[in-house]
Amino acid sequence: MAKLACASHILVKTKDECEKIAGKLDQGENFSGLAKKFSTCPSAKKGGDLGEFRKGAMVPAFDKAVFANGSEDKKYLGPIKTKFGFHLIQVLYKD
């Protein structure tokens, strides 16, 4: 089981906004570009890049999604609701 992951995310306030951005991803738009444009997280400046983090370092719903089996094989995960808002998550790798 993976204990380390690297991921990027897009954080927005509403599920509706999150789903609209997911639609743009489904149409082939760039995750990093959409993060820079829409994400409310300070990581937006880096295209949503959160870098590497250990299992348990993120809030539970985010952590559960990232470390789920096969999460790294999906184009993106979400919408995932946390106390911060709604996330779209791109798992870059797990180790």
Q: Which is nearest to 17 in space by CA: 44, 37, 45?
A: 37
Q: What is the largest CA-CA distance in the chain?
A: 34
CA distance 17 to 32: 17
Give the tens place of pLDDT for each residue, 38-89.
Answer: 999 999 999 999 999 999 999 999 999 999 999 999 999 999 999 999 999 9
Q: Are strands 85-94 and 4-12 parallel, antiparallel or unpaired?
A: antiparallel
pTM: 0.96
Please state the separation of Cα 48 from the chain's center in Å.
8
Domains of the chain, start order: 4-94 (3.10.50.40)
What are the residue ranges of helices labelled H in 1-95?
15-26, 31-38, 60-66
